[in-house]
Amino acid sequence: MLRRMWAQVSRRVGPALSPVPLAARRLKAEAWLAAAISIGLLAAVAFTTSIPTYSNAVYVRLLRKELHEKTKNYPPFAFMFHFLGAKHGYAEWDDVRSV
């Protein structure tokens, strides 16, 4: 029974996997070419991912510089809240609920 199931699986999966041994033989025959292609692909991915990383670092540096000039050494994304309700009269619950 197990042999019959294996035969059915290999009949269905076999044609899909037939290019794998051919590709392995070609890669083995042209090992230096495969290595050069792999290094080139690695370099292309590295350049592609480094550009957004660099630009993000530049923008964060500019943001920190601008915030440092305008604030009193607060962290870049800190929020400061001030309640000025008592200056113009106390807020009632009915006024607050509408917000």
- Is the pTM higher than 0.75? The answer reads no
> Residue 51 sits in which domain range?
2-98
Residues 6+ apart with CB under 8 A from 64: 76
Per-residue pLDDT of the chain (99 residues; tens, 9 = 90+): 777 777 777 777 767 667 777 788 888 898 999 999 999 999 999 999 898 888 999 999 998 888 777 766 667 677 777 666 666 667 677 777 776
Closest-CA residue to 68 (of 82, 78, 58)? 78
The CB density around residue 67, as the number of other CB atoms within 10 Å, is: 15
Phi-psi category of 45—alpha, beta or left, where left has phi over 0 and alpha has psi -120 to 50?
A: alpha
Q: How many domains does the chain have?
A: 1
